[in-house]
Structure 1
Amino acid sequence: MTKLRVAVIGCGSIAKYRHLPEYALNPNVEIVAVCDLVKERAEEAAAKYQAKAYTNYETLLQTEKLDAVSVCLPNYLHAPVSIAALNAGNHVLCEKPMATSREEAAQMIEAANKNNKKLMIGHNQRFVSSHQKAKQLIEKGEAGKIYSFRTAFGHGGPEGWSVDGKDSWFFNKNQAFIGAMGDLGVHKADLLRYILGEEFIEVGAFVETSAKEDTDVDDNAVFILKSVSGVIGTLAASWAYTAKEDNSTIIYGENAILRLEDDPDFSLIVQYKNGEVVKYELGGIQSNEEGGQTTTHVIDHFVEAIVENKEPLINGEEGKRSLEVILGAIESVESKSIYQLER
């Protein structure tokens, strides 16, 4: 088959360590162009992957004949660039959070539908082995009725990951829109929706900027969430877990407790009420730390969705629902009340 002609817009860390190498490993893909405002960054990526370098995404979209585009830009550019790429006739894989408002997210979905193109949001937590296994066990009724959960995603902050370090757009509210909530919290909102198989209807949140200096975005956030069936739990997102990353989720059910990514040796441990304990050795979770898992499966899934003409697991609608949990948390903080999410 003819290879998919792909461009990556934005050559920061997520493109450098995830999108570009994973596209390069996919036999169905040819990376034809890369784009970054920093010319040297674009040229470095172009040289590595034998692609053409651009510093203007509009020029790239007008010039190149493409099949698909990855949008790896600061959050405030996700919607406009994704919409431009969709309107230029390309399938789009956009990093999370998909947009900075419900309106932007809806416009992205509308552009995908109008142009009959795939829109996928890069929520990689759904592809982690322990998370998929937990979803299967819950669906099979292994845990019985689910009562509660707690989930956390935290590390020392994006300055250790971003190519711009402490000067990263992550700390600039105009570009990032939100901090740890958008960087990490939206991942866990998406994951919980996926594992529990239901939507959240209420959110209450506390948000602080307490660990980072010279920034106006949140670096610590804690949500209390309630699902349609009455499952309640907490979600923590933080850039202040300074000693070690935490990416764990614990689900409390009638017959069992599921511990996901909570143990150094076993990615899933199921503790049954009758005393039985089952430990699963599954593939490790993706991490930004040294030696972290490099394959997110996001790229392969996106390419497969295009090649086989099927809907991606995290399409625009799914991305929007996960974003709405975060937007609801912001409303909760501003109103100092529990926010009712749209059903």
Structure 2
Amino acid sequence: MPSQHGVLNIGIVGLGIAGASMIPAILKHPKVRLAAAATRNKERLEKFAKDYNAETYYSIEDLCKSPSIDAVYIATPTELHTEHVRIAAEAKKHIIVEKPLSVSLEDADHMIEIAEKNGVQLIVGHSHSFEPPIQKMGEIIESGELGKVVMIHNWYYNDWIYRPRTPEELKTELGGGVTYRQGSHQFDIIRLLGGGMIRSIRAVTGVLDDSRPTEGNHTVFLEFEDGAAATAVYNGYDHFHTTELTFDIGEGGPLTKSNVYAQSRRMIKETKSQADEVALKIASGYGGKRSKNYKDSEKNHPFFGLTVVSCEKGDIRQHPEGLIVYGEDEKYIVPISKEETGRMNVIDELYKAVIEGEKPVHDGRWAKANLEVCIKAIQSSKERKELYLDYQVPVKEKVKNTI
């Protein structure tokens, strides 16, 4: 049961980039407390204990034994998600798990089943569909003021494949590569805005660098049951960057540096060994020399590439202040508070599910449907044909800002 006064105590499992980036959102929520962390990295644990006066553990098993922890945020590698969700669920801890949910649909089924069996909430995030501009797009769509959705597009060009990577991030069979890791964000945005029910998929993926042997780009065409169409285009090979089209604002919200072109490719080429690359990755995690200061970063809404929604009576895209709506009679800006963040909404969705009994959108079945799109995209490319989807689920409730 949650702590007194309705406060939810959360422990973070894994203090890499994902775990570190969620800390400010947990701290900002008035009814959530950052209570613990687990990682094998001794230096990170010591810093975390000093910074937050919180419990620290070297394993998820030990963290989940703590009676003071109500929920866990699992920010560990994808191939560990199934086992870590099992441990947390059997300890009766509510769960947020990083995307993608798992590597296979069978594992996803096991995770959903064990969470339901133990009566705990299972939510998947951080998904960029939680971001306030995407949520606001959903509100406008649902209002009907622009008519029915006919097209949704998300195009993202960046340096993903050449950022410092651990070995499993470059192995498709372990959930690595842009189609699993980043397509999961794109498909989630598209499915949320389109209502969730994708009918079919046709995709082409590419591995363009043998030294990084996993998908580094994809072009995906999606058709919804109601006839709406969508494309998800991703290229992580560090040539053109979509920030040139998104007001110089990138994925985390910061303004793009002027020397961004080929910076990551040059850095990786200068790295002497896989161990050195892993060290660079570790240095980007909590307390590392290359870690971002998420708390003090520029306050801009993040652009996960270029997202454009076309309805019968107008188009919508992001703007630094919120959204631009291109209506039939006028073009206007819809301002959105910059105090809200997608990560805050992830935490709030868990809180409302646990404390208020509100059914979450991003539950296990939603995440399984998203994983199905990732898997079928890779399969479609290999087989060079359109494939139909079997496990899609509709958006369960009104899309809205939650904070």
Same-fold status (TM-score > 0.5): yes
What RMSD over aligned residues (CA atoms) do the two structures have, in Å? Answer: 2.5
Residue by residue, what CA displacement relative to the aligned partner does 1:60-93 show, whole Å, maximum 9, x if unpaired? 3235542101100111111210121011111001
Distance 2:238 2:309 in 1: 22
Distance 2:173 2:149 in 1: 39
**Does structure 1 retain, via aligned residues, the 8 Å contact 2:127–2:188?**
no
Instruction: Name the % identity.
Output: 25
Task: Indicate the residue corresponding to 2:214 in structure 1.
Answer: 217
Q: 1:26 to 1:340 in 2, by over 3 A?
A: same
Task: Indicate the residue corresponding to 2:366 in structure 1.
Answer: 318
User: Shift of residue 168 of structure 1?
Assistant: 6.3
Does 2:272 correspond to 1:268?
A: no
**Does structure 2 retain, via aligned residues, the 8 Å contact 1:266–1:282?**
yes
Task: Indicate the residue corresponding to 2:198 in structure 1.
Answer: 200
List aligned pairs for 1:303-314, cutoff 5 A: 303-314=351-362
Among 45, 49, 72, which residue is 2:48 paired with?
A: 45
User: Shift of residue 215 of structure 1?
Assistant: 2.2
Task: Indicate the residue corresponding to 1:277 in structure 2.
Answer: 331
Residue by residue, what CA displacement relative to the aligned partner does 1:139-197 show, whole Å, maximum 9, x if unpaired? 2222223322221244322765xxxx34464234454x231122221112111111121
Task: Indicate the residue corresponding to 1:171 in structure 2.
Answer: 170
In the alignment, structure 2 segments of 5+ residues that lack a partner are 244-249, 251-303, 393-403
Does 2:108 correspond to 1:99?
A: no
Q: 1:167 to 1:119 in 2, by over 3 A?
A: closer
Distance 2:96 2:389 in 1: 26
**Does structure 2 retain, via aligned residues, the 8 Å contact 1:67–1:90?**
yes
Letter in 1 for 2:9: R
User: Shift of residue 23 of structure 1?
Assistant: 1.8
In the alignment, structure 1 segments of 5+ residues that lack a partner are 287-292
Among 229, 237, 242, which residue is 1:232 paired with?
A: 229
Q: 1:72 to 1:257 in 2, by over 3 A?
A: same
User: Shift of residue 275 of structure 1?
Assistant: 4.2
SS of the counterpart of 1:297?
helix
Task: Indicate the residue corresponding to 1:289 in structure 2.
Answer: none
Distance 1:2 1:276 in 2: 45
**Does structure 2 retain, via aligned residues, the 8 Å contact 1:17–1:294?**
no
Does 2:304 correspond to 1:250?
A: no
Q: 1:257 to 1:31 in 2, by over 3 A?
A: closer
Residue by residue, what CA displacement relative to the aligned partner does 1:284-316 show, whole Å, maximum 9, x if unpaired? 699xxxxxx685421133223222232223111
Flag the structure with more relative contact order, 1 or 2, with Cα contacts below 8 A and sequence separation at least 6.
Answer: 2
SS of the counterpart of 2:202?
strand
Distance 2:201 2:323 in 1: 27
